[in-house]
Amino acid sequence: MAISIVLAGRNNVHSWWIGIVGCSMFALLFYDVQLYADVALQLFFILTCIAGWVQWLRGAGGQPLPITSASVKTVGYLALGGVAATVAYGLMLREFTDAYAPFIDSAVLAFSVIAQFLLMGRRIETWPVWLLVNTISVPLYASRGLYLTAVLYAAYWINALVSWWWWHRQMKAART
């Protein structure tokens, strides 16, 4: 999975198929430690890896997708939707499961979904959203004893920061 994330940050289409393998392994791990929102998230990632792979290759009109920016209005709607989904899913997990940290786990889920859709569309805003997700994920995973996973997500945090810079540079170069 780490390779997939680094490749995504480098704007490399091979990140998608490698992501399918990594997400499958993480789904099993998260199930074992009762992070059910994260299990659902990994299943979502598997499906969107397939769609993202196709979208990045074919894009609009058969041409590969360029890196672009979402509108401020779109980002605002996504943020509100992320908060609403966090609350709704967190309430559901709290009420109907034995989930550990249902609202924090739900925030990881909701904002990862948003970041994934932004990534599929090659929107530069994916990277600050991934920074948020990784900031939440590191202490969550450490609190469940998943120290290696927490360290991995700390590395993902660094990758998101570098990738944001890299994509901005590529987007700027494509304009000129």
d(CA 130, CA 112): 7
Provide φ and ψ at 123, rounded to 5°: -95, 130
Q: Who contacts 142 (Cβ-Cβ below 8 Å, separation ≥6)? A: 150
Q: List average pLDDT for each run of 10 residues in the chain, which is 176 residues long.
A: 85 89 92 86 92 83 84 98 97 92 93 95 96 97 94 95 96 89
Rounded (5°) CA angle 66-60-72: 55
pLDDT of residue 157: 97
Q: Check: pTM over 0.85? Answer yes or no.
A: yes
pLDDT of residue 137: 96
pLDDT of residue 154: 97
Beta bridge partner(s), residue 123 = 68
What single-letter amino acid sits at 68? T
Total tally of structural domains belonging to the chain:
1
| Token pair for 127 | 């990277």
Domain extent for 159? 2-175
Identify the DSSP state of 146.
Answer: -
Which whole-number Å values give the CA distances from 44 to 20, 61, 151, in the listed order? 10, 26, 23
Dmax (CA) of the chain: 53
pLDDT of residue 36: 84
Q: DSSP letters along 21-47, please?
A: HHHHHHHHHHHHTT-HHHHHHHHHHHH
pLDDT of residue 56: 84
pLDDT of residue 60: 66
